A and B are shown apart, each in its own frame.
Chain A
Amino acid sequence: MFIKLEPRGEASRSMSYLSPLLAGLLTLVSGGIFFAFLGHDPIEALRIFLIAPVEDLYGFGELCVKAAPIMLCAIGLAVAFKAQVWNIGAEGQLLMGGLLASAVALQLMDVESFWALPLVLLSGMLGGGLWGLLAAWLRTRFNANEILTTIMFNYIALYLLLYFVHGSFKDPDGYGFPASAMFGDSSLLPILLEDTRMHIGILFALLAVVVIWVMLSRSFIGFQIKVLGLDSNAAKLAGFKHKRLVAVVMIISGALAGLAGAGEVAGPIGQLIPSISPGYGYAAIIVAFLGRLHPVGIFFASMLMALIYLGGELAQIELNLPLAVTSLFQGMLLFYLLACDVFINFKIKFNRPQISATLENS
Chain B
Amino acid sequence: MKQSVKKLLTGAVLGLSLATAGIAQAADPLKIGFVYVGPVGDHGWSYQHDQGRLAVEKHFGDKVETTFVESVPEGADAERVIRNLAKSGNDLIFTTSFGYMNPTLKVAKTFKKVKFEHATGYKTAKNAGNYLSKTFEGRYVAGFVAAKMTKSNKIGYIASFPIPEVIRDINTVQLALKKYNPKAEMKIIWVNSWFDPGKEADAANVMIDQGVDVILQHTDSPAAMQAAERRGVYAVGQASDMSSFGPKAHLMSVVDDWAALYIRKTQEVMDGTWKPENYWGGMAEKDIIIPAFTNMPAEVATEAQQLVDDITSGKFFPFTGPIKNQAGEIKVKAGERMPLNELVGIKWYVEGVQATAPQ
Contact = CB atoms under 8 A, between A and B. Distances in A.
A309 B40 CA distance: 19
Interface string A320-346: 101100000000000000000000000
Nearest to B121: A177
Contact of B80 (A175, A313, A322): A313
A167 B74 contact: no
B347 to A, nearest CB: 5
A176 B76 CA distance: 22
A309 B77 CA distance: 10
Interface in B71-95: 71-77, 79-81, 83-85, 88
Given A314-B84, A323-B70, A177 B39 contact: no
A187 to B, nearest CB: 16
B67 interface: yes
Nearest to B122: A175
Contacts of B345: 175-176
Q: How large is the interface on B (under 10, 10 to 19, 20 to 34, 35 or more residues)?
A: 35 or more
Contacts of A66: 76-77
A179 B161 CA distance: 12
Contacts of B81: 313, 317
B73 A275 contact: yes
Contact of A168 (B68, B88, B359): B359
A271 B103 CA distance: 11
B98 interface: yes
B335 interface: no
Contacts of B75: 264, 268-269, 273, 275-278
B73 A313 contact: no
User: Most chain-A CB neighbours within 10 Å: which of B88, B163, B346?
Assistant: B163
Contacts of B67: 316-317, 320
B270 interface: no
User: Most chain-B CB neighbours within 10 Å: which of A182, A270, A323?
Assistant: A323
Contacts of A222: none
Contacts of B98: 177
B69 A273 contact: no
Contacts of A179: 99, 102
A179 B71 CA distance: 20
Interface in A262-282: 264, 267-271, 273-278
B76 A322 contact: no
B65 to A, nearest CB: 10
A273 B97 CA distance: 13
B71 to A, nearest CB: 5
Contact of A269 (B76, B164, B347): B76
A318 interface: yes
Interface in B185-233: 192
A316 B76 contact: no
A313 B102 contact: no
A294 interface: no
User: Most chain-B CB neighbours within 10 Å: which of A274, A276, A310?
Assistant: A274
Contacts of B102: 179, 182, 270-271
A17 interface: no
Contacts of A223: none
Contacts of B73: 275, 278
B39 A323 contact: yes
Contact of A316 (B69, B77, B358): B69
Contacts of A268: 75-76, 79
A249 B346 CA distance: 47
Contacts of A314: 84
B164 A274 contact: no
22 contacts: A167-B358, A168-B359, A175-B122, A176-B163, A176-B167, A177-B98, A178-B161, A178-B163, A273-B75, A274-B161, A277-B75, A278-B77, A313-B81, A314-B84, A316-B68, A317-B67, A317-B81, A317-B84, A317-B88, A322-B40, A323-B70, A323-B71
4 tightest A-B CB contacts, nearest first = A175-B345, A278-B73, A268-B76, A316-B69
